[in-house]
Structure 1
Amino acid sequence: MVNILAAVALLASVGAATDSIDSVAPKDLAVTSKVSILGVAKTLAGGVMSYYLGNATTFADLPKPYYWWECGALLGAMLDYSYYTNDSTYDDAIATALMANVGPAYDFMVPEHWLDEGNDDQAFWAFAALSAAEHDFEQPASLTPAGVPSWTAISINVWESMVGRWNTTLCGGGLSWQIFAENFNGLNYKNSASNGGFFHISARLALLTGNQTYLDWAAKVWDWTTAVGLIDKDYNVFDGTDSADNCTTVNPLSFSYQNGIFLQGAAALANLTGSDVWAGHAAGLLNSSRAFFTPSDNATNIMWEHACEGVGRCTTDMKSFKGYLSRFMYASSVVMPSLASNISTYMRKSAVAAGQSCTGINMDGAPSANGTTCGQRWYVGGFDENVGLGQELSALEAVHGLLVLDGVVDDVPSPTPSTTTTPTPSPTASQQSGAHSMAPLDLRWTVLGMACALFAFGMA
């Protein structure tokens, strides 16, 4: 199936360059104003990238206490930022970081992390590569010598490494959390992040390539996940299960991003197949996600990480999870528009609450002039003094995805026409001889024409 929705999303992203938009304090976010969303996203993107110490030519892993996987998550967020806002400020740094971590087999198995890399870590880097492929993100020639695979091929390499780890010896299938025997504690644990990641990658590759193998494996992973109870009949997604008891008991903890991982995968398969079954799975997952939007009776439709925020025990990793649910929800609304209305209800209020949390201090203790420092608990109505990369990432992903929703008014001012008089050029030799010339194309109409052509081809 031709993904006409992705083509339309591309069309929508063509607009005023974000470098012409002033930064806006997140607390002033207006969710129906494109100018406001762009300005707040610009502010938050700067806050996120202040934690990244690399640059356009040199990769630098995130400093402690952040793990390597979260760098992949950061790059996935920034790829969406670049795509949604048309701001290329960070593109070179993003490309450099991705290419520095593909590993010798171009599958994000990096020698520096061979003893600590888990399946879920690898999955988050693959999510970034898939976004790069879907967004047609350029691979700079200086970073991609002859023979370097495309973003799609890199994503396929990850999938092939994962499918080789599918283990039917215990529990009838599933991926373990950890990859290497040195991490023996995680070898018995078959978690939703790893298996959901494999499902998600399979589903997006199926939509991206049309290859039946990926569709078949997505269905296989889904069936296994539901059979062992990691997804229950109400579409609640639980953290994991232990192969030491043949996966007969489930860890009942539930985190927002796990729901989102499965949600986008199911929505992609609904788009690809037109199946009511996959559409039902996606709708069920979205419905179950309501648990992450009800911190109290008077704070509905504001996202929270219910497993840890209420008791104040979120780890560094957990503080970033809300951002990924936002990311996967917005992406799901694009490939499965019937979800968009409910997602809009959740995310508009959550984005405002996220912005209102960004009134704190910078890492150096100085006041945050533009509100680039965000808190964690959005439902408190302000800054809660709990700062970090995860909080910045979560706020950014809640805000910039608003641009894909209906109801955003394009109030970006048109460029002021120049009043400078330009001398009339002399006719070229071809013009003097009567040859036809073509006026420059408006890129928006070019993309629209391509989208219509793709649609017509898909209907043929």
Structure 2
Amino acid sequence: MFSSLPSGVVPATLLLLAGVLPSAYSQSPYSINTDDEIRQSARTLAYDLMLFYEGNQTGQIPGILPGPPDDGLGDYYWWQGGAMMGTYIDYWHYTRDTSYNHVIQQGMVHQVGHNRDYQPRNFTASLGNDDQGFWGMSAMLAAETRFPDPPEDQPQWLALAQAVWATQASPERHDEYCNGGMRWQVPLSNNGYNYKNTIANGCFFNIGARLARYTGNDTYVEYAERTWDWLWGVNYIDHETWRVYDGGHVQHNCTDVNKATFSYNIAILMQGAAFLYNYTEDQKWLDRTEKLAERCLRDFFPDGVAYEVPCEHRQGQCTADMLTFKGYVHRWLAVVTQLVPQLRETILPVLRTSAEAAVRQCTGGESGRVCGFYWASGEFVDPAVDSTTGAGEAMNVLAAVESLLVDSAAPPVTNSTGGTSRGDPNAGQNSDIYRTYSPITTADRAGAGIITFLILAGGLGTWGWMSTGS
């Protein structure tokens, strides 16, 4: 598919012949000083990220990155493919480069599953609510950005987001333990089914907030309110510091709150709150968005550079999941500036400083432009240090760079402001949520790395700074 490099990219062989390889590689090839430079850098980054994707090759599965690890097929889980789809939807939205639209549309549609609700049979036995949620958020993004609609005989973006929301709104996914809230995993037999966490409920909250704004249906607001109140009630959102914690176990009534703070947890709630404020104009959602944004920037952007607090303090500690979080946070913060203009001057300078640090360290590999994860150091660290091939690291930098174009991009549309995606009020209503599955190991499950990390972290104790004040 990729017969030539993006314009302006010099092949490594030519640099070798010219005898300038060492000096050329000591400096990043990316420049983001102007919008044109941002687009060119994003174009090259998008090209390099797509090299990790095999779903457009004969005999491969569209929509997913190579994996899962437990099968020896690659470093990545099913949900990360959905996250990559979202990154490319934003890439198209910000740059208007259509080069990957067909690949992304094909992958998004291929993974919808037999009930068109992002519960494909190949992955349902290891399904987490957050895994399904990430695909649902990418479908929602496609509707909001007017990403080209699939053919008429295929499921449509809005209907897919509605289907994911409907399956997660089903009473079967909200039981009486911990006074409500969704569990991390969907099948009862999965390790982690006894854990109720922020990210699963955060995805549901986020999609509902966006559906409310897009459709004008206040039922979505009611459910989003209920989810927020539950997260607040179980103290997953700290009432004083506004840090957002990971979760707790049903056998302890979710009182054993694991205070690990991951950047995507706070960012997914912040973006959802911003959508609700933009739609309802209710002051409480503005207050919540501002509090979460302040805490997010303070904790996860020290010196203005994205930093994944729980694992980045020592190389080799981040899981394949954690290695993708920076990109989501950049993308979600960018949209917040469109929905809540009051935060624009607070957020945009940080996104630029962070993106500058991100591209500065992209000096690795034979090409001299491979990106690592550790942006603050200013030096390339090979993704192998975290036992991955680097797709997450590449996706992060692409997200950071493309998001710098947010000011020149249209804000998320709605049904009344130009949205074209067709919805389906019955989407997800007939999904057979609870089939019988065989028990699986933690490693079989998308997101397995995080729970392993949490178990280890629990044994070592919670980081001291997390229990301090603001």
Q: State the TM-score, normalizing by the size of structure 2.
A: 0.76
**Residues 56 and 94 of structure 1 are in contact (CA less than 8 Å); yes or no, is this contact kept in structure 2?**
no
Partner residue, 2:237: 231
Amino acid at match of 1:355: V
Amino acid at match of 1:251: N
Partner residue, 2:328: 324
Q: In the TM superposition, what is the alpha-carbon distance from 1:21 to its structure 2 partner? A: 6.8
SS in 2 for 1:320: helix
Q: Distance in 1 between matches of 2:377 and 2:312?
A: 11
Query: 1:44-443 alignment to 2 at 5 Å?
Result: 44-55=45-56, 59-60=61-62, 61-63=64-66, 64-141=74-151, 144-145=152-153, 148-164=154-170, 165-183=172-190, 185-233=191-239, 234-295=241-302, 300-312=303-315, 313-361=317-365, 367-369=366-368, 371=369, 373-386=370-383, 388-405=390-407
Name the count of aligned residue pairs. 380
Partner residue, 1:38: 39
Q: CA RMSD in A?
A: 2.5
Q: Distance in 2 between matches of 1:316 and 1:345?
A: 28
Q: Deviations over 1:85-131 (max 9, x none)?
A: 00000000000000100111111011001110100000100111001
Q: Deviations over 1:357-397 (max 9, x none)?
A: 21101xxxxx114x1x1011100012112251110011011
Amino acid at match of 2:255: T
- Unaligned runs of at least 5 residues, structure 1: 1-18, 362-366, 409-446, 456-460
Q: Distance in 2 between matches of 1:214 and 1:51?
A: 37
Rg larger for:
1
**Residues 263 and 300 of structure 2 are in contact (CA less than 8 Å); yes or no, is this contact kept in structure 1?**
no
Q: In the TM superposition, what is the alpha-carbon distance from 1:310 to its structure 2 partner? A: 0.2
> Percent identity over the alignment?
37
Q: In the TM superposition, what is the alpha-carbon distance from 1:28 to its structure 2 partner? A: 5.1
CA, structure 1 residues 405+31, in 2 after alignment: closer, same or farther (shift >3 Å)?
A: farther
- Unaligned runs of at least 5 residues, structure 2: 11-24, 67-73, 385-389, 419-470
Q: In the TM superposition, what is the alpha-carbon distance from 1:46 to its structure 2 partner? A: 1.1
Q: Deviations over 1:318-360 (max 9, x none)?
A: 1111111111111111111111111112111100000012110
Q: Distance in 2 between matches of 1:213 and 1:101?
A: 27
Amino acid at match of 1:286: A
SS in 2 for 1:95: helix
**Residues 32 and 41 of structure 2 are in contact (CA less than 8 Å); yes or no, is this contact kept in structure 1?**
no
Q: State the TM-score, normalizing by the size of structure 1.
A: 0.78
**Residues 6 and 47 of structure 2 are in contact (CA less than 8 Å); yes or no, is this contact kept in structure 1?**
no
SS in 1 for 2:196: strand
Q: Distance in 1 between matches of 2:417 and 2:326?
A: 35
CA, structure 1 residues 454+305, in 2 after alignment: closer, same or farther (shift >3 Å)?
A: closer
Q: Deviations over 1:157-201 (max 9, x none)?
A: 100000114423101110100000220x31110111100011001
Partner residue, 1:434: none
Q: In the TM superposition, what is the alpha-carbon distance from 1:138 to its structure 2 partner? A: 1.6
**Residues 166 and 173 of structure 1 are in contact (CA less than 8 Å); yes or no, is this contact kept in structure 2?**
no
